[in-house]
């Protein structure tokens, strides 16, 4: 039989494993060669060897060295490395050390940010139960959960973590909390009866319990059917391991694309100049040195460091807005996101059941407040403005007194111990106020008839001060109403009429239409001699007291955040494991779904192949009753349609989709460790509005990176044009390699860092997201870059040619160098905006930039008058009035560009 079991295992890990719920007890026990008395120790030992430990496979260990080396894969980085090596070979050690320092610093920053980014499977392993109670050789034993095997009989009670996927054999008032696995916030009723459907969503398999979930109430006996990687959480681990490949972020793709253009363009120009020099008979060594200088001029040495530090600064800004970034390049990716796939429970909603409406003695009450805290009030509605305090108190006495949960204040937040639905009822009582201690003091508990899925009700019998017994009953409204013969109204208790029943059912239907889960309450004074433990004797001739409608409410700020997302051109899609009716109601309340939008269930998604899902995905606003695999498919379908997809969530079932999205966002408070480890970003306050704020920061960071690149590359174009023009004309080289490096790293690099921290444009969220395929360097970018380069090179060339006829070649080179430095520094003020003038933007609105420009100008002014700095930059002593004249000449590019801005703005205003 063990050999036969080995063959079954292969089948069960695929299709058959999903059919355990449809088998009756005898068939399940037979398939696993087990019995209610459990396995023998010998059989369990053999199965442990056959199936392996009941644990999740650990992913490949992160190797810090490999992660560090991975930071040096970029094309521009290798261009810099080659330039550094060539400089070292040529004896230019200052150039070589400076370039390599930039490369190493850039790599260390990226390594620091990403070192702890790949520990998702380790977090999944921490979720499994440490020990389990099983039956072996007919005896109950406590064993390490890692030793549970298929065929073990598990004994479970309230508070236990489930150690394996198991088929229930017995269930006494059993409820489990599966929110982390399915996304459903309510505790799920469990029963032992087999289900007739083979195809049942995970959340509907009421006779199954799953690894990593917990028992909220009741007791159970279950047969372990899957362990380790064969469990539902194991399937998620498999998805998580393969959810994300080596796909690069949009920014990385754009930089790589630009790097290829830059290197081939630079090599082409250098090659052309080298060929031209050979034709003109320039000596080989001199020509090689010239080519090296041109290569240094062409490559923006500061670009990798500037982009990396700009992203790191963005990380700090986002942290101030409650978004912690775990992967550096994800900052920009979020700014280009055009789809946010968000989980409902705990992300758009509070993640805690809340009573929202009460009905008592003909009056409907609105209950305010969120979560399990006592903050809030019970208020009458306009339709029924009369408050009946005594009847309302009797209603809440049932909901508080017929209750097995408790509330506790932990770390400043109220938490429920037990069933979340019962916790919500306790919170409603606290708003009266009425506490469990109040009820217990006035009418102590005598007996309990626990809830079960057949009766759909629960009763607690309590003793009045006069010694008589009082039965408090709560349950499904339709069931409880059938047991009631009397009703409590404003005047007292009276016989129930057909009109009363119609009114109660209408109120129940109205609450259900609002996607509220409705419970009814009733009570009865027991006759002397009535046995309080017999349901048939207690639960009859009840007095109907009222209804409570509850749900997991949307976050107060979520609706405005969704509206802002739409304004920004971002599609918000709800993906949840909850019921379709509930999900659609919340989606419409938040503005995610309109009347024409579609909603699909997980079973409907299963019927679509990947191509059909891709065709339909843009018309679907809500996906309900879905699993982790469904969520990952939906994310991939959006990506196939060209979307830059952000996925948010908090449960284990969200982790694969979070890792597979362009950017994964986990909730910091309610999120599981698995989800956080899989994410690129963690929202510390679990607030959907913080996600939108992070999008705004991401867009602003991209704008700053683009203006920084524009500034740096325009400077490189100016240097390249200056050097090329001198070679073509036949003039001596106007700049030395160390001077080019100083301009690229200090004169351009430091202001570029300040540009990367510019304040964000307030209109950034009124634009549409960038397309995934949009190039970083479009036609406008290139045109402005060339025009600016022509201006700066033209000024420096004019100064150089003028000086060559009047001073020495060394002094003429110093003049060209100084003029170019001043032009670049002053131009940084104009680079802050392509549309607004420096006067409108303000010189001091970016104080860091102003200080850097002043300091760089001071160093440039001081260099000809300081022996050490002059020797380092290879500049000769220069009269002060030369420096002042060169400063005036260096302002020409800025003035011309500002005049062009003014003319363009005037023309746009006229039209």
φ and ψ at 361, to 5 degrees? 50, 40
Residue 487 has which token pair?
A: 């009703």
Alpha carbon distance 501, 174 (integer Å): 31
Catalytic residue among 95, 165, 343, 419: 343
Q: Whats the size of the chain, residue-wise? A: 911
606 is catalytic: no
Query: What is the rounded distance in angstroms from the CA atom of residue 355 to the CA atom of residue 425?
Result: 7
**Can you read off the two tokens belonging to residue 606?**
């299963």
DSSP for 231-276 reads SHHHHHHHHHHHS--SPPPHHHHHHHHHHHHHHHHHHHHHHHHHHH
Please list the residues that pair with 265 across neighbouring strands: none
Question: Is the Cβ–Cβ distance between 889 and 801 less than 8 Å?
Answer: no
Nearby residues of 555 by Cβ (< 8 Å), 6 or more positions away: 348, 349, 350, 370, 687, 688
Q: Which residues pair with residue 136 across a beta bridge?
A: 39, 139
* C-alpha radius of gyration, the chain, whole number: 36
Helix, strand, coil abundance in the chain, percent, nearest 5: 55, 20, 30
Query: Alpha-carbon distance 467 to 465, whole Å?
Result: 5
Distance separating alpha carbons of residues 12 and 35, to the nearest angstrom: 19
Write the CA distances from 262 to 229, 265, 275, 295, integer angstroms. 48, 5, 20, 11
> How many Å is the maximal CA-CA distance in the chain?
123
If DSSP states are collapsed to H, E and C, what string results for 488-538?
Answer: EECCEEEECCHHHHHHHHHHHHHHHHCCCEEEEEEEEECCCCCCCCCHHHH
CA distances from 896 to 444, 717, 792, 823, 887 (A): 88, 17, 11, 12, 15
3-state secondary structure of 620: strand
Annotated catalytic residues are: 343
């Amino acid at each position: 039989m063990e050999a036969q079991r080995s063959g079954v295992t292969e089948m069960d890990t695929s299709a058959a494993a999903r059919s355990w719920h449809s088998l009756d007890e005898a068939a399940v026990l037979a398939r696993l060669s087990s019995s209610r008395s459990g396995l023998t120790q010998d059989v369990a030992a053999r199965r442990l060897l056959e199936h392996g430990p009941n644990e999740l496979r650990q992913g490949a260990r992160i190797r810090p060295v490999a992660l560090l080396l991975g930071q040096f894969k970029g094309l521009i980085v290798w261009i810099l490395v080659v330039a550094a090596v060539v400089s070292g070979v040529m004896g230019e050690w200052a150039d070589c050390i400076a370039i390599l320092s930039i490369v190493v610093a850039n790599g260390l920053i990226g390594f620091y940010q990403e070192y702890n980014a790949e520990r998702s499977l380790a977090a999944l392993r921490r979720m499994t139960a440490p020990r389990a109670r099983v039956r072996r050789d007919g005896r109950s034993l406590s064993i390490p959960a890692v030793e549970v095997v298929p065929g073990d009989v598990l004994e479970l009670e309230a508070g236990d973590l489930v150690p394996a996927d198991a088929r229930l054999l017995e269930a006494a008032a059993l409820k489990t909390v599966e929110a982390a696995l399915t996304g459903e916030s309510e505790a799920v009723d469990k029963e032992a009866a087999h289900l007739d459907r083979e195809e049942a969503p995970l959340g509907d398999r009421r006779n199954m319990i799953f690894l990593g979930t917990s028992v909220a109430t009741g007791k159970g006996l279950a047969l372990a059917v899957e362990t380790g990687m064969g469990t539902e959480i194991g399937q998620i681990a498999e998805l998580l391991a393969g959810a994300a490949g080596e796909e690069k972020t949009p920014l990385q793709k754009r930089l790589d694309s630009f790097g290829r253009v830059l290197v081939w363009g630079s090599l082409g120009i250098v090659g052309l100049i080298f060929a031209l020099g050979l034709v003109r008979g320039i000596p080989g060594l001199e020509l090689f040195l010239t080519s090296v200088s041109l290569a240094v001029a062409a490559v923006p040495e500061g670009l990798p460091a500037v982009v990396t530090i700009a992203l790191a600064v963005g990380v700090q800004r986002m942290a101030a807005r409650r978004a912690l970034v775990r992967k550096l390049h994800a900052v920009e990716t979020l700014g280009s996101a055009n789809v946010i796939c968000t989980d409902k429970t705990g992300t758009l909603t509070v993640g805690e059941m809340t009573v929202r409406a009460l009905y008592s003695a003909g009056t409907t009450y609105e209950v305010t407040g969120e979560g399990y805290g006592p903050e809030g009030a019970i208020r009458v509605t306009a339709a029924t403005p009369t408050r009946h305090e005594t009847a309302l108190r009797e209603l809440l006495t049932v909901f508080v007194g017929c209750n097995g949960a408790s509330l506790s204040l932990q770390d400043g937040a109220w938490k429920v111990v037990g069933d979340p639905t019962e916790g919500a009822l306790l919170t409603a009582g606290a708003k009266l106020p009425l506490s469990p201690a109040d009820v217990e003091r006035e009418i102590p508990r005598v007996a309990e008839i626990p809830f079960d899925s057949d009766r759909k009700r629960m009763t607690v019998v309590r003793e009045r001060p006069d010694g008589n017994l009082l039965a408090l009953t709560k349950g499904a409204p339709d069931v409880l109403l059938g047991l009631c013969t009397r009703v409590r109204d404003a005047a007292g208790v009276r016989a129930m009429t057909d009109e009363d029943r119609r009114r109660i059912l209408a109120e129940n239907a109205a609450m259900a239409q609002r996607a509220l889960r409705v419970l009814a309450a009733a009570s009865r004074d027991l006759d002397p001699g009535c046995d309080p433990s017999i349901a048939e004797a207690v639960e009859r001739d009840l007095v109907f007291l009222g209804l409570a409608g509850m749900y997991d409410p949307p976050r107060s700020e979520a609706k405005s955040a969704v509206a802002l997302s739409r304004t920004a051109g971002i599609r918000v899609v709800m993906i949840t494991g909850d019921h379709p009716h509930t999900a659609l109601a919340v989606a419409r309340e938040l503005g995610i779904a309109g009347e024409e939008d579609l909603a699909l269930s997980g079973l409907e998604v299963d019927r679509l192949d990947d191509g059909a899902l891709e065709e339909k995905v843009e018309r679907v606003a809500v996906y309900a009753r879905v699993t982790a695999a469904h969520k990952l498919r939906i994310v991939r379908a959006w990506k196939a349609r060209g979307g830059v997809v952000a996925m948010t969530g908090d449960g284990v079932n969200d982790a694969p989709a979070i890792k597979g999205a362009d950017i994964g966002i986990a909730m910091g408070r309610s999120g599981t460790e698995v989800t956080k480890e899989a994410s690129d970003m963690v929202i510390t306050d679990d607030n959907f509005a913080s996600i939108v704020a992070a999008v705004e920061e991401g867009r602003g960071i991209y704008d700053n990176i683009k203006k920084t690149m524009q500034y740096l590359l325009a400077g490189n174009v100016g240097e390249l044009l200056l050097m090329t023009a001198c070679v073509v004309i036949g003039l001596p080289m106007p700049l030395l390699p160390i001077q080019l490096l100083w301009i690229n790293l200090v004169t351009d690099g430091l202001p570029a860092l300040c540009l990367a921290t510019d304040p964000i444009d307030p209109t950034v969220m009124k634009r549409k997201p960038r397309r995934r395929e949009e190039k970083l360097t479009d036609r406008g970018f290139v045109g402005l870059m060339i025009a600016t380069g022509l201006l700066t090179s033209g000024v420096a060339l004019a100064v150089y040619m003028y000086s060559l006829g009047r001073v020495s070649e060394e002094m003429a080179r110093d003049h060209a160098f100084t003029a170019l430095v001043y032009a670049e520094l002053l131009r940084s003020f104009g680079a802050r905006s392509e549309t607004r003038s420096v006067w409108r933007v303000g010189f001091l609105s970016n104080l860091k930039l102003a200080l850097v420009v002043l300091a760089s100008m001071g160093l440039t002014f001081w260099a000809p008058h300081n022996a050490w700095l002059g020797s380092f930059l290879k500049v000769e002593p220069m009269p002060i009035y030369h420096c002042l004249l060169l400063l005036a000449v260096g302002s020409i590019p800025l003035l011309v560009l500002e005049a062009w801005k003014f003319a363009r703005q005037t023309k746009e205003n006229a039209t």
